[in-house]
Structure 1
């Protein structure tokens, strides 16, 4: 077959904006100007917003209603400006004084539509990462409030009742105190309680950066309003079926006494009661002092009295409006206009556990049966926190760990104290101390579990010497502690998302990913890490492997620079029982790449044979053209590998656009992966990014083209072997089998037929009721000796191991026939079938 011309491998270029007539552009401008008039926009901001829209329109195709894109452009410009306040030299007003809700109303956009569009706008307008982070925080904060509102409605209806002469639901109206004067109605009661919570959480934002704390604050607000209703003897507003009512509440001589209902709604009652006695009381005192609310300051009653109700509603509305305009966020009062169970355009997706990652699915616990089989974010977060709090009793290293000696333990505690000070300085919440204290307790627990397992696998070594050796690894202690902090923040559903923890403690993604497998393995004992927390860690590991560990400043590049190139193949790292840090990293990268190649190819309806070809192209890009990964994403190289295969094979379909469409169905997919690909450093020293098709044509094809042509066009010889290409089989994920039969993951059993026995000369088999006890003992010793544990600087590098392997591999044909490939792939599976719990070297018996 003749070699195709270079341009034949090029990808089709997706065109930019569709040409429009002058008339349509004039209509667009008129529409935009009308929107600005409605918002009372200043002229400078108006012009800048429209210019931004035109610039993006020239580069990208803006599909759908143009007014929505105009809203995004205007919001971006407003959000980028800030106005100093009169009362404080440091305070500023964000959002140019424009209500985000009014902006969306002018653009006929729902909040859900806005969040979808503004994310796309961030990509197309190449906005700085700081702005992208602000949008993500905005979405997450609103997601927390929306989730809380759904719980609020449920709890409110359990406590209060709508009188027969009132309508329970009505349309949202302007909250400016335009309510009819008189006794408190059901609707006013609903509104003032929700308003009180919104103002309370904004009074001290540092107290409510997570879902669990915000929920406790909301319950405190409901509890206060409930006591006010009792004090006013409004029996018509009380739900008589509520089990928390005082026994004599309907009697004429009923006298109100402080009554707490937190026990009925909080799974973490002690934490909620502590907030009620401290933070909540401080917030209410500040409200009374600033005349934000009126009533009896000492008892916090009288809020619903006829003389106070209307001005409390008006005052709380004004206070909240000032806050919303100052920060440019959503007006969360609109939630009270909807039945949260029926409203469809808002969602709490940002609070859900991550979509199940492709790797390590076999390590996930079974899905728990929840009430009604329906995910409930508050309950899920509370359960996560309670499981971690169960280890809060551990306040210092265990006696087993202390055997390392006072000097070693003192150094360990010094490292933890330094991390604590970093955390307290950077975590934006007064709950920082309690959060770190919980993380430290879990750290002590995990440290004990990990070191106990390490000793168990090396029973003949000197105990103190091994403890000293392992505990003295600073990076191990730092990454383990950081991982525990990340788990606590995720359990509470904080607004701070990974990689904040890496930035807080100055840890590289390459080092952090090494601790995750160890934490998952030992943190799943006693049920301390549930399914959602393990999924969270697995997602973080994939994020490190796919992108963060390949950043230009990553430590992996210094390791690659000192290694013998090309890098070891999948076959080399899969069959190595004494691999170094770089080899273990590549092993994980290869497995992740293979699983994603399979999923993408299946989405594209490509044959299984095709998967293998694409895998080898991808592997070649890692081993021989490693620079393709620098400051780039694993998925970018995978998509390019698929397309270059299609081009060399002269297939009509799929197109590159089809590959991107299929990619969006992957659990880890984000638009920026194909919209923003690193191309190089420009003349100003700044990174230049373009779309993935530009990367494919200008960067990928020139370096991969010849290999792909030689590999895909080569003809096998008469023996069926390919003699001029060194290839390796794709990685094989450790199977979910064999099944565990104990709770501590220590013993696994699988069934096997007679013809499966002794298929390998090195295989060890123990048959129940037949084999002698010495066979099981020998098997256990074999597994203990072969299992790999910690690898934080005390492991061998690539060095002589890889050289020896390469020398050995040159003596055999690089591409084995099907029988040899099958043998290489089945070796770990044979041990599994034999009943040994060490499939892939991951578990011990």
Structure 2
């Protein structure tokens, strides 16, 4: 079937208005979907995407009145007519968005629809479980179906349908909060409680039966439901949401529309009429279809093949893997509340002592500021989420204030230990510091409550309007000032959840790459005043210890109170060079250091005069250091995908570093990645290794964070935007041409190669490992210092480079610097294990390592490949693929494995593995030689 036939069938079936059909037809032509080069399902998905996009555009242009949206198809209509699954629709739209420009109203609508589907799908799954748990008769059983059919014939519709439709109707009053999992879950609990209260007790299972007769409290059923859901501590929030959203809906139901045969439950027809109006206005998905198990909404998950669990870890395995989106959201909230269980809404006694020890007591100003910011927070919260959310806003602000005081106390305690002083007047009287600290605490609270599942990797993430940068507008903060507190916040509150830490990391990345470079940012004035003074220590001068104990630490006081100090003058020099700056962020991804020597001229001192370096600022140096770390990380990934040599990459990095430290005006109102891509193209062209800009952009598009606006909408002169090619020709080259020409091969004096940024020294970032289970980590393969110049003829636990590619194993046992005596000790122990394996009896060890033979042709990669992003859509934490690393089973003890005896079961496994590999080693090597 041709594309036109598929499109016409959908248009005619749903009587799509001509203006929408014409807009959709133009989109299909723009997308180049006229040829039937794909399957009919894909042809239909293109047609559905075009009609949905056209419908969103026309809805946005109208005033949303009922008479004006009549005839405009909804997404559910299109999916049903085109027989397209919603998952396929989201995947297709995600790809189209990355390849083409869309109307400004389409992206927010698509995000909201995707998030609405994910949230509703997760809630319906939990709703089904609760209904089975509450009512004696399983609503999905044949008997229950007969009862439901009988009830319908008697004018008594199924309670399950009434409860779910009532919830959908009440959810519409939450506005933006309707796509927030935690708040909608609380509303669902209220709707279930209402239904259970109006149901006969003999239909209920325990403990709901007993709660139905309970005379102790009116909230007995609600308490039982919260206990069942594991959110008893959220009772107050549940009640607030119910009073704000459910009670008004119930009060508006006419008395004659209450079904007296079902103890006063509303009539299903009335609820459906009300919801249908909301659904047609929104134009997205009909959430009532979940009740019918719609084939276009339900995701059929194929059974996954998991390795057999051991008896001693079966319960542990099930507890760590069975984490539904609802359970995860509840656990996140409970973790935050547990963290603040001992905190209060007012400063603690130790914190009050710090206030009193100041030369000027800041208590009054801090309290007044908190009150003023609370009013601003609640006001803006209500504007986004609607008036019913005022109580929720006050509750969340209260949690944020507790975290604010807790982290402030930890910061001052660390400052006292570092500086041996108790007077922190300057810091505690700083308005930007307090605003930023409270804003960061509230951001942690918001991201905890705003969790929303996303089942589609091709689509953007959380679409909540309460997350960063929303808080900047609420508190009138600049992104650059807010970014100063992020590092100290993570250091001084190490018990934050991983989701919160990752969110703060993403915020810091956004600030460093673009937001701090906005035209209104104070960064530009600071650079003009202080000068570009960042110096980065050479890699050899940096401690390589991974525990971070020797690394310098920057505190909030350094960031907010660092003056612009004159650079100390060196003897016999008119102007001294500032000492190397090695300050790093615990949130920054540690880049890889380039190696190798190529055919290019040796770097020589540059002829370009450098800017005078007379002053320095700790906060500015710290920020520019982060900029360089991020720029190098992005450059390393792009060069890996473009197969740029390490030697050429050194020149490109030198150019990028020069832009960041000496030509910061190029970054004003622009994105750091735009500078990186321009430098790649310029250096490759001038060194006669020319790359097409198209290839660079295509490689950039495959990065996980890439957005089309980065290379399509680049600021040209402050008033006009154009493509990155126009930026390169009109802005970048006129500024950088003289410097770039120095990299020509015929030039005998090229600019001095810039050192790479230092690795992050934080404990959490010392090794980019990814925890996949208790005491089990995945991390990139490291080159062992124990490398033999001769090929290994027999099996040993040596370096991965000593094994043939066919037989390389991905297990590393405590690999690290050591002596040859330790290696001999390990080899002797392995030999002893081989001799004693026959006499060993079966051991009942509760923990043991698993040896699994992997196909090295698919899992063995070099370090360069590991550092590159995954382009097939699958990724893992820290950008490390589980197939590109080696796994290390690590015990709770930090002692090296060589000092601990091997358990008998492991000795047997090692002996068996040794004999097998020795038997097959010769053929493998012969294959390799061939």
Correspondence for 1:271? 234
Give the 3-state SS of the residue equivalent to 1:734 in structure 2. Answer: coil
Correspondence for 2:153? 181
Does the 8 A contact of 2:48 with 2:82 survive in 1? yes
Mapping for residues 111-510 of structure 1, pairs under 5 Å: 111-118=86-93, 132-160=107-135, 161-162=137-138, 166=142, 180-182=152-154, 188-205=158-175, 208=178, 210-231=180-201, 233-234=202-203, 244-246=207-209, 259-260=221-222, 261-272=224-235, 275-276=238-239, 279-280=242-243, 283-284=246-247, 286-291=249-254, 294-295=257-258, 304=262, 312-338=267-293, 343-344=298-299, 371-373=319-321, 375-390=323-338, 391=340, 393-398=343-348, 399-403=352-356, 404=358, 407-427=361-381, 428=385, 429-430=389-390, 431-459=392-420, 461=421, 463=422, 466-493=423-450, 495-496=464-465, 497-510=467-480
Distance 1:522 1:341 in 2: 47
Give the 3-state SS of the residue equivalent to 1:727 in structure 2. Answer: coil
Correspondence for 1:354? none
Does the 8 A contact of 2:743 with 2:751 survive in 1? yes
Distance 1:267 1:645 in 2: 58
Does the 8 A contact of 1:573 with 1:584 survive in 2? no
Q: 2:624 is matched with which residue: 581, 586, 595?
A: 586
> In structure 2, do the counterparts of structure 1 residues 164 and 458 end up closer, same or farther at CA, with 3 Å as the change threshold?
closer
2:671 corresponds to 1:633: yes
> In structure 2, do the counterparts of structure 1 residues 432 and 36 end up closer, same or farther at CA, with 3 Å as the change threshold?
same
2:664 corresponds to 1:689: no
Distance 2:52 2:65 in 1: 25
Give the 3-state SS of the residue equivalent to 2:716 in structure 1. Answer: strand
Does the 8 A contact of 2:171 with 2:245 survive in 1? no
Distance 2:207 2:672 in 1: 56
CA deviations 1:507-550 (Å, max 9, x no partner) are 111111111001101011xx2x1111111101110011011111
Give the 3-state SS of the residue equivalent to 2:129 in structure 1. Answer: helix
Correspondence for 1:615? 653
Mapping for residues 385-784 of structure 1, pairs under 5 Å: 385-390=333-338, 391=340, 393-398=343-348, 399-403=352-356, 404=358, 407-427=361-381, 428=385, 429-430=389-390, 431-459=392-420, 461=421, 463=422, 466-493=423-450, 495-496=464-465, 497-524=467-494, 527=495, 529-564=496-531, 574-575=580-581, 579-651=617-689, 656-681=693-718, 685=719, 687-690=720-723, 692-711=724-743, 713=745, 724-735=750-761
Distance 2:651 2:532 in 1: 22
Correspondence for 2:890? none
User: Where does structure 1 lack aligned partners over 5 or more consecutive residues?
Assistant: 1-23, 87-91, 251-255, 297-301, 348-367, 717-722, 741-749, 756-845
Does the 8 A contact of 1:112 with 1:345 survive in 2? no
> In structure 2, do the counterparts of structure 1 residues 420 and 563 end up closer, same or farther at CA, with 3 Å as the change threshold?
same
> In structure 2, do the counterparts of structure 1 residues 326 and 557 end up closer, same or farther at CA, with 3 Å as the change threshold?
same
Does the 8 A contact of 2:57 with 2:105 survive in 1? no
For residue 145 of structure 1, report the CA deviation from its aligned partner: 2.0
Q: Which has the higher contact order (CA 8 A, sep 6+)?
A: 1
Does the 8 A contact of 1:510 with 1:555 survive in 2? yes
Does the 8 A contact of 2:189 with 2:238 survive in 1? no
For residue 503 of structure 1, report the CA deviation from its aligned partner: 1.8
Distance 1:229 1:619 in 2: 70
Does the 8 A contact of 1:39 with 1:98 survive in 2? yes
> In structure 2, do the counterparts of structure 1 residues 586 and 150 end up closer, same or farther at CA, with 3 Å as the change threshold?
same
Distance 1:276 1:557 in 2: 48
Give the 3-state SS of the residue equivalent to 2:171 in structure 1. Answer: helix
> In structure 2, do the counterparts of structure 1 residues 586 and 230 end up closer, same or farther at CA, with 3 Å as the change threshold?
same
Distance 1:42 1:341 in 2: 24
> RMSD value over aligned CA atoms?
4.5
> In structure 2, do the counterparts of structure 1 residues 247 and 375 end up closer, same or farther at CA, with 3 Å as the change threshold?
closer
Give the 3-state SS of the residue equivalent to 2:362 in structure 1. Answer: helix
What is the TM-score of this pair, normalised by structure 2?
0.61
Correspondence for 2:852? none
For residue 42 of structure 1, report the CA deviation from its aligned partner: 4.4
Does the 8 A contact of 1:550 with 1:556 survive in 2? yes
Distance 1:369 1:453 in 2: 39
CA deviations 1:633-652 (Å, max 9, x no partner) are 22222233333344344447
Give the 3-state SS of the residue equivalent to 2:132 in structure 1. Answer: helix
Correspondence for 1:67? 47
Give the 3-state SS of the residue equivalent to 2:335 in structure 1. Answer: helix
> In structure 2, do the counterparts of structure 1 residues 484 and 258 end up closer, same or farther at CA, with 3 Å as the change threshold?
closer
Distance 1:457 1:143 in 2: 47
CA deviations 1:685-711 (Å, max 9, x no partner) are 4x3233x34444554445445534422
For residue 262 of structure 1, report the CA deviation from its aligned partner: 1.3
For residue 675 of structure 1, report the CA deviation from its aligned partner: 3.4
Distance 2:440 2:378 in 1: 16
> In structure 2, do the counterparts of structure 1 residues 167 and 123 end up closer, same or farther at CA, with 3 Å as the change threshold?
farther
Q: 2:56 is matched with which residue: 68, 72, 76?
A: 76
> In structure 2, do the counterparts of structure 1 residues 33 and 573 end up closer, same or farther at CA, with 3 Å as the change threshold?
farther
Distance 2:484 2:94 in 1: 31
**Corresponding pairs, count:** 648
Does the 8 A contact of 1:212 with 1:493 survive in 2? yes
Distance 2:72 2:728 in 1: 44
> In structure 2, do the counterparts of structure 1 residues 285 and 531 end up closer, same or farther at CA, with 3 Å as the change threshold?
closer
Correspondence for 1:720? none
Correspondence for 1:761? none
Distance 2:168 2:816 in 1: 59
For residue 594 of structure 1, report the CA deviation from its aligned partner: 1.4
> In structure 2, do the counterparts of structure 1 residues 646 and 705 end up closer, same or farther at CA, with 3 Å as the change threshold?
same
> In structure 2, do the counterparts of structure 1 residues 637 and 531 end up closer, same or farther at CA, with 3 Å as the change threshold?
same
> In structure 2, do the counterparts of structure 1 residues 388 and 258 end up closer, same or farther at CA, with 3 Å as the change threshold?
closer
> In structure 2, do the counterparts of structure 1 residues 331 and 588 end up closer, same or farther at CA, with 3 Å as the change threshold?
same
Distance 1:695 1:168 in 2: 67
For residue 223 of structure 1, report the CA deviation from its aligned partner: 3.2
Distance 1:163 1:669 in 2: 46
For residue 670 of structure 1, report the CA deviation from its aligned partner: 2.8
Distance 1:259 1:380 in 2: 24
> In structure 2, do the counterparts of structure 1 residues 498 and 248 end up closer, same or farther at CA, with 3 Å as the change threshold?
closer
For residue 159 of structure 1, report the CA deviation from its aligned partner: 3.4
For residue 712 of structure 1, report the CA deviation from its aligned partner: 5.4
Distance 1:341 1:523 in 2: 44
Does the 8 A contact of 1:138 with 1:329 survive in 2? yes
> In structure 2, do the counterparts of structure 1 residues 328 and 481 end up closer, same or farther at CA, with 3 Å as the change threshold?
same
Distance 1:483 1:68 in 2: 41
For residue 133 of structure 1, report the CA deviation from its aligned partner: 3.7
Correspondence for 1:825? none
Distance 2:140 2:18 in 1: 52
User: Where does structure 2 lack aligned partners over 5 or more consecutive residues?
Assistant: 303-315, 452-463, 539-577, 584-615, 767-814, 821-930
